[in-house]
Chains A and B, each alone.
Chain A
């Protein structure tokens, strides 16, 4: 493909394409740049009517204000606990389920697959009301459980659907060989299949991580009285009052909230991109 493109696209056109790609990259990255820049601007400078795209005296004041806010560290930890639990538990459950629907032939298999597909489309937000009552009845309101449990359920269908392709790709001959060598089914599952499918699990986990880390609606609706159980989006909004936002605080908080996801993305990007291609093509 690249060779063909090289040959057929004339040089000035390719240079124009490359220039526009760089320009677009700059435009796309600009909001992030502005976020970090504003977080480091000293007090007062951000509220200037002549915003400068640089700052002469970077300051950590906004970050101090953010971390000085009661229990910001706690919120950060809560967000992390929610996201990591959701990722780990849903990956495990999805792996088992994906194995079942790809490695076995049984009645209702196709029906189940279609149900998983339909489950993917259920608007989570519409379920806030019944989930609110359900969490209340379980005694989970104002606990992290109220954020973890629903997100596990919501990331499952997509995770199963995506992992299916990865499980399918493991040759059956491998299974036979393991069987002949005397490995039990459980052993095959965890010691052979699981490591092979792991890259797929990583790609899948991006989606469950993002959905849990980004969660705003459930945190807003289910954590109502015990704010020590709150998560980062709520902490951020302490600084964002629509009439009089503390922009420095909001941008510093935003930066702190975005960095873990960025790190996660950088760690998994190669798996993510190849995983997407695989899952989508399947």
Chain B
């Protein structure tokens, strides 16, 4: 395990057998660091681990996590579903009027609203564009990192870590300044005069997309780079000696080995980009002119907290939840098909 700063090596990444898509072979850093005690000492050697025979112990260990998750995740999800079926506005919140069961009333109102469909479509397209761009940039730069010497690699890594570390609010305001029609350097460099990026619907979305890609490609780049580095060099050298082209090596060897990693970064990107809130809210001032840049998240927030239609806002939340649940199920199937052991 290398200890140079900014070099990537997975705990299981010491050169060894290829981690053919599936559970990685892990020669763990912990193992290397601690030197497992001599085997065969004492009569109990070879028996099953004492921790494994737990009885109630695992549940004891799990209890704090289950309490927290139950109280602050599962119960709110249940409540979200419940509120989405109620009439719940300012009157009910303050206790002035009793809550009344609406059935699918909120959903019916939502689905009749033309703006909802427009926002749903915008969310899908925007999130999709963010995911594709983030993955493309992240993977391309990960490959680039493997082709350069230490100094350019360090520079790119540091820059990427900086972008990654930037909080969403500050990133949003900085990008707004960069593209400011009056004081921003970008318009000056591009010779665009006082063109306003946030005025038009598409250019506003494009600006937010740039910021989102800027702060989320580093995760993809670093992770994929870690994956490429984990592929043992002997395997690649053998292939190259056998006359395989670079493209062939990539397609037939690297791509299948990297697939588990690609699945993870794709899913994480889908989840993050589908839920973008801060960037849209700050950069388009709460959803753009006449709500032209709304995405589901911001839309739900505006409905619930700005116009006190909590029932309607919750219905939008449920729609989001269902879409992400569908994504999760696809993810689980992919994991299963790879024979991943849980």
Contacts of A277 in B (CB 8 A): 8-13, 223, 226-227, 229-230
Contacts of B44 in A (CB 8 A): 176, 179-180
Contact indicator B41/A34 (Cβ below 8 Å): no
B115 at interface by CB-CB < 8 Å: no
Contacts of A240 in B (CB 8 A): 173, 282
B167 at interface by CB-CB < 8 Å: yes
12 new A-B pairs (CB below 8 Å) besides A21-B152, A97-B64, A217-B278?
A: A18-B148, A99-B61, A109-B58, A114-B342, A123-B324, A130-B76, A174-B36, A214-B169, A240-B282, A247-B180, A254-B173, A278-B12
Q: Is the interface of A mostly helix, strand, loop or mixed?
A: helix
B183 at interface by CB-CB < 8 Å: yes
B101 at interface by CB-CB < 8 Å: no
A76 at interface by CB-CB < 8 Å: no
- Binary interface encoding of chain B residues 308-342 relative to chain A, with 1 for a CB under 8 A from any of its CBs, else 0: 00100110111011001101100110000000001
Within B182-200, the residues touching A (CB, 8 Å) are 182-185, 188
**Which residue of chain A has the shortest Cβ distance to B326 in the bound complex?**
A121
**Which residue of chain A has the shortest Cβ distance to B24 in the bound complex?**
A281
**Which residue of chain A has the shortest Cβ distance to B161 in the bound complex?**
A265
B293 at interface by CB-CB < 8 Å: no
Chain A nearest Cβ from B165, distance in angstroms: 4
Within A241-279, the residues touching B (CB, 8 Å) are 242, 245, 247, 250-251, 253-255, 257-258, 261-262, 264-266, 269-270, 272-278
Given the known interface contacts A17-B147, A18-B149, A176-B44, the answer about A247 and B183 at a Cβ–Cβ threshold of 8 Å is yes
CA distance A117 to B176 in the complex (A): 35
Contact of A265 among B36, B165, B233, B260 (CB under 8 A): B165
Contacts of B170 in A (CB 8 A): 35, 236, 253-255, 257-258
Contact of B62 among A96, A125, A171 (CB under 8 A): A96
Q: Give the B interface residue count (CB, 8 A).
A: 137
Contact indicator A276/B223 (Cβ below 8 Å): yes
20 pairs, CB–CB < 8 Å, chain A vs chain B: A5-B146, A17-B147, A21-B145, A25-B155, A28-B156, A47-B183, A50-B188, A103-B54, A123-B271, A129-B83, A129-B314, A156-B68, A180-B45, A185-B51, A214-B169, A265-B164, A273-B222, A276-B8, A277-B227, A281-B230
**Which residue of chain B has the shortest Cβ distance to A79 in the bound complex?**
B167
Contacts of A177 in B (CB 8 A): 36-37, 41
Contacts of B61 in A (CB 8 A): 96-97, 99-100
Contact indicator A118/B328 (Cβ below 8 Å): yes
Contact indicator A236/B173 (Cβ below 8 Å): yes
Q: Give the A interface residue count (CB, 8 A).
A: 130
CA distance A276 to B1 in the complex (A): 15
Contact of B305 among A30, A127, A221, A255 (CB under 8 A): A221
**Which residue of chain A has the shortest Cβ distance to B286 in the bound complex?**
A242
B264 at interface by CB-CB < 8 Å: yes
CA distance A149 to B31 in the complex (A): 35
Contact indicator A104/B12 (Cβ below 8 Å): no
CA distance A117 to B264 in the complex (A): 12
B126 at interface by CB-CB < 8 Å: no
Closest 3 CB pairs of A and B: A277-B10, A277-B226, A169-B28
A56 at interface by CB-CB < 8 Å: no
Chain A nearest Cβ from B274, distance in angstroms: 7
CA distance A173 to B41 in the complex (A): 11
Contact indicator A96/B79 (Cβ below 8 Å): no
B204 at interface by CB-CB < 8 Å: no
Chain B nearest Cβ from A258, distance in angstroms: 5
Chain A nearest Cβ from B127, distance in angstroms: 12
**Which residue of chain A has the shortest Cβ distance to B167 in the bound complex?**
A214
Contact of B167 among A25, A50, A233, A269 (CB under 8 A): A233
CA distance A278 to B79 in the complex (A): 36
Chain B nearest Cβ from A163, distance in angstroms: 11
